[in-house]
Amino acid sequence: MTTIVAIVGDIHANSTVAVCPPRVRLDDGGDYVASREQRWIWRHWRDYWQAVAQRREGHRLIVILNGETVDNNYHPTTQLVTRNPADILRLGIETLQPMLDIIQDGDGIYVTRGTEAHGGQSSHLDETVANDIGAVQSAPDIYSHWQLRLDVEGVRFDVAHHPPGGGGRVPWTRGNFANRLAAAAMFDAMEAEERPPHLYVRGHVHRHDDSYDRFATRAIVTPSWQLTTSYGHRIGGGVLPIGGIIVTCDRGDYTLSKHYSKWPTGGYKRA
């Protein structure tokens, strides 16, 4: 039996430079209108879920939201739509609607917890969203996971928001970063006397990476759905792709497709 696994992370709904519906009603009665960049992300967000819908026809679907689904950045910043918790939750659910529209009976949604600086203490915002959308529980009445380990049609997934250590932030270390993650996952499995995962998926750094077939475990670092923030500019982050992955699992084998897009910089302006 074939099962489709759609994995996205670092959605950051409520950030003024992240994916957002074209218009959002706020608690005081006013509207927030998405920027040109946000509308561009929104189009690609919808395209991604349309691709998932086409791929899953006739098959079961598992969705993994890998942390920082919504954002109430606790660092000093002006780049938030609202600080109202009710607005943040509502905006997050509206952002997830293209995904919720394709969920059918028998499908499963899993949510992992992201960074406390974005999701609050114990990443309670991720837990709140997971509860609201009826995600698969990690324990009785707990709807999100710090680490998610799944066997899907014989394909083993190890998914969490944070990768161990830093890295991958500059072009000449990206491959090394994914290779290190893959090797670490294999060593961890050997020390635990377990079979290693086929796919080791992490997020958080917003810069995608892939170890491909260099190891028995394939490490994937997914991009975000947020363009560069003021903090990202401060550390020289540059323009990073957005997107998610789709994995087709069948009898212990898998195929993986990436759906990444990069904001066009537009070249150089004439002085």
Q: pLDDT tens digit string along 78-131?
A: 999 999 999 999 999 999 999 999 999 999 999 999 998 788 789 999 999 999
Gap between the Cα atoms of 118 and 239, Å rounded: 21
Amino acid found at 236: G
- Overall domain count for the chain: 1
Strand partners, 201: 159, 220
Point out the least confidently predicted range of 55-64, 129-138, 173-182, 241-250: 173-182
Q: 174-202 burial by CB neighbour count: b if 16+ within 10 A, else e? A: beebbbbbbebbbebbeeeeeebbbbbbb
pLDDT confidence bin for 170, thresholds 50/70/90: low
Q: pLDDT tens digit string along 20-61?
A: 999 999 999 999 999 999 999 999 999 999 999 999 999 999
Amino acid found at 222: T
- Would you tell me how many other CB atoms lie within 10 Å of the CB of residue 166? 10
Angle at 30 between CA 26 and CA 33, to 5 degrees: 80
Give pLDDT, residue 120: 79
Point out the least confidently predicted range of 25-29, 135-139, 152-156, 266-270: 266-270
220 in any annotated domain: no
244 in any annotated domain: yes
Q: pLDDT tens digit string along 197-234?
A: 999 999 998 889 999 988 999 999 999 999 988 777 78
Give pLDDT, residue 175: 66
205 in any annotated domain: no
173 in any annotated domain: no
29 in any annotated domain: yes
- Is 64 within 8 Å of 112 (Cβ atoms)? yes
Residue 255's domain comprises 3-160+225-261
176 in any annotated domain: no
- Would you tell me how many other CB atoms lie within 10 Å of the CB of residue 121? 8
Percent of the chain with pLDDT over 70: 96
Across residues 161-166, what is the average pLDDT? 83
181 in any annotated domain: no
210 in any annotated domain: no
Cα–Cα distances (Å) from 77 to 73, 187, 231, in that order, read 7, 40, 9
Which is more confident, 149 or 179?
Answer: 149
Average model confidence (pLDDT) for the chain?
92
Give pLDDT, residue 232: 78
Question: The CATH number of the domain where 102 resides is what?
Answer: 3.60.21
Across residues 180-188, what is the average pLDDT? 83
